[in-house]
């Protein structure tokens, strides 16, 4: 943490593959992520296990991908699977430079074939009197599914996050129709970081021609300093999503 600034990044890492799916680039992703100097990372499509890829790609890490990305930089991390298949699983992950005192994964999908979940963690920051609540999400592709998930997310926050506690909700919302705003702002008092700075949501998908406003960082109880899309080299040749990086004053 630099000068009492908390740096937060959200990124759909496409299971560690390039946007074309032709190259396994988790090593390049890690190099780029370290350069951001982010304190807390919210990941979607984190590969937990894939037996076929493990045999095919010689540079496949021997440890889990969460451990590989976290090594020596983010000592506290949690991975939660939300899609399980015959050769493995993938899901959400939170990496942090500060103690992750607890975490829980909540299934919010009505479909067995497209499992989705909320990864809710609690982080202890030395500069804050209260613990920071963080929720990493990857919501569904169908409008009806997302509306249900928004409701479950609101219920989770109402029941498990003290109103005065600082909170960050970040991830891949798949919300190109803008359903989240009414529920999040009016019901929960959450603001979206990029929109607060630039008067619009960030266009983050696909990387080669970003048109859809998929990725968000919502917050309350913190003072936003900046929020940017990372579109320059090497980000424009990594995942199929563009990451968002935000800074908050503590």
Q: How far out from the chain centre does Cα 45 lie?
A: 9
Q: What is the pLDDT of residue 1?
A: 61
Burial of 178 (0-12, 13-18, 19+ CB in 10 A): exposed
pLDDT along the chain (250 residues), means of 10: 86 94 94 98 95 92 95 96 88 97 90 78 91 94 84 92 95 85 82 96 94 96 97 94 96
Looking at the DSSP assignment, which residues form a beta bridge with residue 16? none
Q: What is the pLDDT of residue 170?
A: 98
Helix intervals (H) in 10-163: 26-35, 51-56, 65-70, 143-160
* Strand ranges, E, within 51-166: 76-85, 88-96, 100-107, 117-123, 132-138
Rounded Cα–Cα distance for residues 69 and 166 (Å)? 26
Q: What is the pLDDT of residue 113?
A: 59
Rounded Cα–Cα distance for residues 201 and 172 (Å)? 12
Q: Model pTM?
A: 0.94
18 three-class SS: coil
Cis peptide preceding 80, ω within 30 of 0: no
Q: What is the pLDDT of residue 183?
A: 76
Q: What is the pLDDT of residue 2?
A: 63
Domains located in the chain, CATH noted = 5-249 (3.60.10.10)
Eight-state DSSP code of residue 183:
I
């Amino acid at each position: 943490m630099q000068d009492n600034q908390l740096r937060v990044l959200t990124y759909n890492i496409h299971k560690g593959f390039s946007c074309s799916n032709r190259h396994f680039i988790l090593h390049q992703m890690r190099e780029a992520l370290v350069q951001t100097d982010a304190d807390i990372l919210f990941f979607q499509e984190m590969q937990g296990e894939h037996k076929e890829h493990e045999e095919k790609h010689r540079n496949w890490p021997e440890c889990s991908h969460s451990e590989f990305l976290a090594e020596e930089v983010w000592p506290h991390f949690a991975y939660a699977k939300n899609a399980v298949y015959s050769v493995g699983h993938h899901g959400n992950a939170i990496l942090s430079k500060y103690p992750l005192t607890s975490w829980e994964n909540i299934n919010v999908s009505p479909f067995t074939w497209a499992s989705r979940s909320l990864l809710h963690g609690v982080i202890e920051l030395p500069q804050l009197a209260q613990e920071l609540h963080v929720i990493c999400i990857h919501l569904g592709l169908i409008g009806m599914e997302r509306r249900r998930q928004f409701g479950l997310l609101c219920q989770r926050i109402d029941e498990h996050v003290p109103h005065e506690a600082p909170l960050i909700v970040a991830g891949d919302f798949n919300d190109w129709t803008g359903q989240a705003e009414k529920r999040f702002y009016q019901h929960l008092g959450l603001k979206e970081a990029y929109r607060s700075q630039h008067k619009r949501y960030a266009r983050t998908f696909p990387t080669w021609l970003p048109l859809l406003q998929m990725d968000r960082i919502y917050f309350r109880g913190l003072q936003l300093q900046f929020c940017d899309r990372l579109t320059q080299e090497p980000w424009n040749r990594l995942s199929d999503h563009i990451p968002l990086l935000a800074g908050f004053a503590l």
